[in-house]
């Protein structure tokens, strides 16, 4: 393998700090980073990364492809540090928290959340993969799953939860108390759903026909209706 | 890179990992492959018993990784197949005696000599599991047609995917066709629908499996056994052959099946 000096990785207090070359081509940086991660996938699995791009102006599409590359490897892009306004704007546009390296007042605020979020400071997280048993997703925003949520998997979101697939696991929408939160799925056969403080166990019907449904709170209980 | 490392795992215990490992190993050896099996279930070694090689153990896996012997010295040659070997697990140590890096190093040394290196994983998803899958090129997940086993298989597939080892291929073991027909057991279709991975084998429940394991003669050596045939088919599929799945019939025999056909029960 080629000497990889385009990417430096070190552990910091709340995750991994990845510093990338300011001059190397973005694609090469992406490839090098992917290779480093794949080489030690167990170590990186589930990690959250702070990306330091220095003064490099990173475009939104560049950052977006890097974020997707990381998410495919079960790593979240937690924040971006840069003193380039372009990079900061790109990060903000992608709902990644951004920290201006030259400024001390802007950017990251301390996280007072009771749990460790998948992505913080965001309005949502989109996961393009089936969540298998044992996988948990936490978000302070909305969660969109493009795939199934298998029994034994769990989603806890402050906002809405949309499952573009079969929902068989546990979902808690409006976890911070938002009773207007909704849960939608193309096939709603969850183990249990919760919205804000309400809990519902769906009835067991053996051979049901999959149809898109939405769960909301009405008259102090969770009701599930056809998604229209 | 030479030989292929195949790990057999399941998450849940008691679904038939060791039986599957033994039978696939023997079935591959019957197809003239050079095979070494590694029992990664340190502390609960079993594969040597099922293979009928327990009394020949001198060195074990932990002796190899700790440098007390060469891999060659720990390899027990099978009684019938001169190209089939077993590296037994240690009985007196635990999973932490071996690291994932040790397994990669060991298997890399064996790849040049063997066509297949088959690793029998312990149950669970902890260190022993990670040791067993660290070196794997392919992973076979054994499950039974019941909800708890399938749930654990789903968890394991998720972990494999996270390590870029996934999703693996599925062996559905202990299938009873008459229970499926009565709606009392998940069908292969139900299971693949849940797990969304490729099936490489469907092994019927077979009363000859347990006595075979007890006597150290894997069931695949019994040409009359349907489970034995299923394991031979898996071995052929591992070699890239297209082998159709066995049409599982019920234990009741032809007459009953015809009777049910007239009753409209046969699918």
For residue range B43-76, list pLDDT tens digits in order. Answer: 999 999 999 999 999 999 999 999 999 999 999 9
Contact A135 B158 (CB under 8 A): yes
Ranges under pLDDT 70 in chain B? 1, 249-267
Number of domains in chain B: 1
pLDDT at A206 over 50: yes
Rounded CA separation A5/B107 (Å): 31
> pLDDT tens digits for B193-235?
999 999 999 999 999 999 999 999 999 999 999 999 999 999 9
pLDDT at A165 over 90: yes
Phi, psi of A199 (to 5 degrees): -125, 140
> pLDDT tens digits for A121-140?
457 889 999 999 999 998 88
A118: number of Cβ within 10 Å? 23
- Is the minimum CB–CB distance between B161 and chain A shorter than 8 Å? yes
CB-based contact A61:A104 (threshold 8 Å): no
Task: Give the pLDDT of residue B98.
Answer: 95
Q: Tell which wins on pLDDT, A105 or B22.
A: B22
CA-closest candidate to residue B195, choices B224, B165, B167, B217: B167
Question: In chain B, which residues have their Cβ closer than 8 Å to the Cβ of A134?
Answer: 154-155, 158-159
Average pLDDT, chain A: 84
Contact B161 A133 (CB under 8 A): no
pTM across the whole model: 0.70
Four-CA torsion A93, A99, A105, A106, nearest 10 degrees: 0
Contact A132 B155 (CB under 8 A): yes
In terms of average pLDDT, the best of A4-8, A47-51, A218-222 is: A218-222
Task: Give the pLDDT of residue A102.
Answer: 54
Q: Which residue of B has its CA nearest to A151?
A: B151
A41, A132, A165, A170, B9 from A210: Cα distances, Å: 36, 19, 10, 18, 32
pLDDT at A110 over 70: no
Min distance A135 CA to chain B CA atoms (Å): 8
Rounded CA separation A187/A23 (Å): 48
The CATH number for B69's domain is 3.40.50.300
- Is the minimum CB–CB distance between B151 and chain A shorter than 8 Å? yes
CB-based contact A95:A60 (threshold 8 Å): no
Provide the residue range defining the domain that includes B10. Answer: 4-263
> pLDDT tens digits for A53-72?
888 888 877 888 888 888 88
Contact B155 A134 (CB under 8 A): yes
- Is the minimum CB–CB distance between B130 and chain A shorter than 8 Å? yes
């Amino acid at each position: 393998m080629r000497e990889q000096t385009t990417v430096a990785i070190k552990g910091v207090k709340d995750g991994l700090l990845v510093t990338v070359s300011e001059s190397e081509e973005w694609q090469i940086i992406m490839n090098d980073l992917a290779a480093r991660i794949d080489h030690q996938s167990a170590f990186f699995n589930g990690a959250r990364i702070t990306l330091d791009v220095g003064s490099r102006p990173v475009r939104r599409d560049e950052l977006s492809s890097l974020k997707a590359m990381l998410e495919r490897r079960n790593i979240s892009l937690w924040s971006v540090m840069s003193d380039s306004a372009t990079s900061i704007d790109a990060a903000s546009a992608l709902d990644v928290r951004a920290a201006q390296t030259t400024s001390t007042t802007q950017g990251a605020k301390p996280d007072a959340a009771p749990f460790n979020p998948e992505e913080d400071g965001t309005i949502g997280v989109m996961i393009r993969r089936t969540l298998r048993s044992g996988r948990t997703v936490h978000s302070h925003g909305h969660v969109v799953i493009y795939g199934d949520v298998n029994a034994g998997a769990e989603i806890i979101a402050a906002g809405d939860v949309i499952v573009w697939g079969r929902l068989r696991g546990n979902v808690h929408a409006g976890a911070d108390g938002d009773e207007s939160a909704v849960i939608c799925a193309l096939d709603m056969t969850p183990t249990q759903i919760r919205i804000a403080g309400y809990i519902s166990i769906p009835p067991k019907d053996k051979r049901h026909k999959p149809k898109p449904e939405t769960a909301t709170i009405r008259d102090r209980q969770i009701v599930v209706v056809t998604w229209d | 890179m030479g030989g292929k490392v195949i790990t057999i795992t399941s998450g849940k215990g008691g679904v038939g990992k060791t039986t599957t490992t033994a039978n696939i190993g023997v079935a591959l050896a019957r197809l003239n492959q050079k095979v070494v099996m590694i029992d990664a279930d340190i502390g609960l070694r079993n594969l040597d018993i099922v293979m009928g090689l327990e009394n020949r153990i001198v060195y074990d896996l932990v002796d190899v990784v700790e440098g007390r012997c060469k891999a060659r010295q720990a390899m027990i040659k099978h009684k019938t197949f001169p190209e089939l070997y077993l590296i037994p697990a240690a009985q007196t140590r635990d999973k932490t005696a071996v690291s994932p890096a040790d397994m990669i190093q060991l298997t890399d040394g064996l790849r040049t000599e063997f066509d297949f290196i088959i690793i029998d994983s312990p149950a669970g998803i902890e260190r022993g599991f990670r040791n067993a899958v660290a070196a794997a090129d392919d992973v076979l997940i054994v499950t039974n047609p019941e909800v708890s086993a399938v749930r654990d298989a789903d968890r394991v597939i998720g972990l494999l995917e996270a390590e870029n080892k996934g999703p693996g291929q599925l062996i559905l073991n202990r299938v009873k066709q008459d229970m499926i027909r009565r709606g009392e057991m998940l069908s292969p279709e139900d299971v693949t629908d849940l797990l969304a991975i490729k099936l490489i084998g469907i092994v019927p429940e077979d009363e000859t499996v347990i006595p075979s394991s007890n006597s150290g003669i894997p069931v695949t050596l019994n040409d009359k056994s349907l489970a034995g045939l299923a394991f031979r088919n898996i071995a052929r599929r591992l070699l890239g052959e297209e082998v159709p799945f066995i049409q599982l019939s019920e234990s009741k025999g032809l007459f009953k099946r015809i009777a049910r056909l007239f009753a409209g029960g046969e699918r």
